[in-house]
Amino acid sequence: MMSTVDSRLPTLVHELSNMLTVIRGAAELAKRKLEPDHPAHGDVDEVLSAADGAVELTRELLVLTAQR
């Protein structure tokens, strides 16, 4: 079981990275389309911040999988 997880981990991390790219891109686009005083700017900033954190975790996972 663990060897199955080990062998799939790089693929799963890569797929997660792809999803985060889409999430971040959509949030950036939404932010650009909002009027400067729109109240949703704070919400979009939170999404971007969370996505940035998840991207960093994904990078760390990629490093760990490369070391295995």
Q: Which of 59, 61, 53 shows the shortest CA–CA distance to 24? A: 53
Q: Which of 15, 4, 11 shows the shortest CA–CA distance to 65? A: 11
Residue 6 has pLDDT above 60, yes or no: yes
**At 52, phi and psi to the nearest 5?**
-60, -45
Residue 5 has pLDDT above 80, yes or no: no
Comparison of pLDDT for 14 and 5, the residue scoring more: 14
Q: What is the pLDDT of residue 2?
A: 58
Contact between 63 and 17 under an 8 Å Cβ cutoff? The reply is no
Q: What is the pLDDT of residue 53?
A: 96
For the segment 10-64, what is each residue's pLDDT rounded down to a tens digit? 888 899 999 999 999 999 999 999 999 999 999 999 999 999 999 999 999 888 8
Q: What is the pLDDT of residue 43?
A: 97
